[in-house]
């Protein structure tokens, strides 16, 4: 399910592709390494969603030193099957490539910013037109690169589904014709590329996309769709510094009862800076620890068979009675009842619980 929190973020997998491309083109890391979501613990965690502004900035820096045509070709080349996780397999595992790309369009938010990016698929007689719409606030060169890459990615996944290279009938790009576009000719495998078009599209023969996908497994698409929805629901959108802090705090809670100094070390800042940043975000260390503790305990109650005493010990409480008092304050019930009801950790807490 797409929530408001997912808007303005993209998958960490997509951001990794942008970082790798920037490195390949020799873009100095000091220009982007400080951006939100690029710390290794976030960039390499597929549950984290990077701020879309981070990927945009990397694309803009890259197209200062490389042509947008070369960047789109390199991004497509890097996007081997599996690079974008379950989204890739939605395309390649459906009964036909057309059904797969429809699934991919419906679940584009798994990889892209649902606030700015959409896919549209239309059937026009014997042709299928796939368009990509990107409404992000980008520089011209970066926008061209991202849109051209999107078409290259769709073509690659459809070809992988069909297990043969599918050559489009036509490609249209909402971009001025570059001086050289050899990279695009190689990328799409056709000279039928129209520039300065009103939309960014790629058109295939319907017969190419409706032929059965080789070796497809009945029922697999439904499993992948459910997995895609669950993955998006479990994702951690990183919009700002407070999101990064909460991610660091939660990760430490999985290992031990966190301390201010430990979280400061994880975030590579001083304890004084950490407290100041919390104050700037109108929260406090104690409030955040209480919220993280609540989430941690609720996960343990629902996801493990640990006793209440063991959960109290793992959560830093003196005994089970202290844990029971906390759960009563947060949810208005007992730990045992909370475990029986199966209340989800991200359900709205009762009034009086710490804000998250």
User: Which domain CATH number covers 163?
Assistant: 3.90.1520
pLDDT at 10 over 90: yes
Please tell me whether residues 167 and 308 are part of one structural domain. no
Please tell me whether residues 57 and 177 are part of one structural domain. yes
pLDDT 10s digits, 202-259: 999 999 999 999 988 889 999 999 999 999 988 989 988 898 888 888 888 766 778 9
pLDDT 10s digits, 51-91: 999 999 999 999 999 999 999 999 999 999 999 999 999 99
Q: What is the CATH number of the domain that holds 307?
A: 1.10.10.60
Please tell me whether residues 166 and 247 are part of one structural domain. no
Number of domains into which the chain is organized: 2
Q: Is 102 a domain residue?
A: yes
Please tell me whether residues 82 and 178 are part of one structural domain. yes
Please tell me whether residues 64 and 19 are part of one structural domain. yes
Q: Tell me how far apart the alpha carbons of residues 161 and 151 are, in angstroms, rounded to a whole number.
A: 15
pLDDT at 348 over 60: no
pTM of the predicted model as reported, rounded to 2 decimal places: 0.78
Please tell me whether residues 205 and 244 are part of one structural domain. no
User: Could you tell me the residue range of the domain that residue 254 belongs to?
Assistant: 240-341
Q: Tell me how far apart the alpha carbons of residues 337 and 346 are, in angstroms, rounded to a whole number.
A: 17
More confident residue, 253 or 1: 253
Q: How many CB atoms lie within 10 A of CB 70?
A: 22
What is the widest separation between alpha-carbon atoms in the chain? 73
Task: Return the SS3 of 48.
Answer: strand
- On the CB side of 127, CA atoms within 13 Å amount to 13
Please tell me whether residues 196 and 262 are part of one structural domain. no
């Amino acid at each position: 399910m797409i929530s408001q929190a997912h808007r303005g973020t993209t998958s960490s997998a997509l951001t990794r592709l942008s970082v790798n491309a920037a490195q390949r083109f020799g873009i100095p890391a000091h220009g982007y390494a400080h951006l939100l979501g690029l710390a290794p613990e976030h960039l390499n965690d597929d549950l984290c969603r990077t701020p879309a502004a981070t990927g945009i900035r990397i694309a803009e820096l890259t197209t200062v030193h490389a042509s947008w045509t070369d960047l789109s070709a390199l991004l497509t080349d890097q996007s081997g099957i599996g690079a974008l996780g379950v989204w890739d397999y939605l395309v390649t595992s459906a009964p036909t490539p057309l059904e797969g790309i429809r699934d991919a369009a419906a679940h584009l938010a798994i990889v892209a910013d649902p606030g700015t990016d959409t896919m549209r698929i239309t059937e026009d007689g014997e042709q299928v037109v796939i368009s990509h719409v990107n409404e992000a606030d980008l520089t011209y060169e970066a926008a061209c690169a991202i849109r051209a890459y999107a078409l290259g990615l769709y073509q690659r996944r459809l070809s992988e589904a069909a297990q043969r290279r599918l050559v489009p009938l036509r490609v249209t790009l909402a971009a001025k014709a570059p001086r050289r576009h050899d990279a695009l000719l190689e990328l799409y495998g056709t000279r039928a590329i129209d520039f300065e078009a009103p939309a960014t599209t790629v058109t295939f023969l319907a017969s190419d996309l409706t032929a059965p996908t080789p070796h497809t497994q009945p029922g697999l698409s439904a499993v992948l769709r459910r997995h895609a929805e669950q993955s998006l629901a479990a994702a951690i959108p990183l919009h700002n510094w407070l999101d990064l802090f909460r991610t660091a705090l939660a990760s430490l809670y999985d290992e031990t009862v966190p301390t201010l100094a430990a979280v400061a070390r994880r975030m590579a800042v001083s304890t004084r800076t950490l407290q100041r940043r919390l104050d700037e975000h109108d929260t406090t260390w104690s409030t955040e620890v209480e919220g993280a503790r609540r989430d941690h305990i609720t996960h343990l109650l629902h996801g493990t068979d640990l006793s209440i005493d063991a959960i109290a010990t793992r959560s830093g409480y003196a005994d089970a009675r202290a844990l029971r008092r906390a759960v009563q304050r947060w949810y208005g019930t007992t730990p045992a009842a909370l475990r029986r009801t199966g209340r989800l950790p991200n359900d709205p807490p009762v009034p009086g619980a710490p804000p998250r």
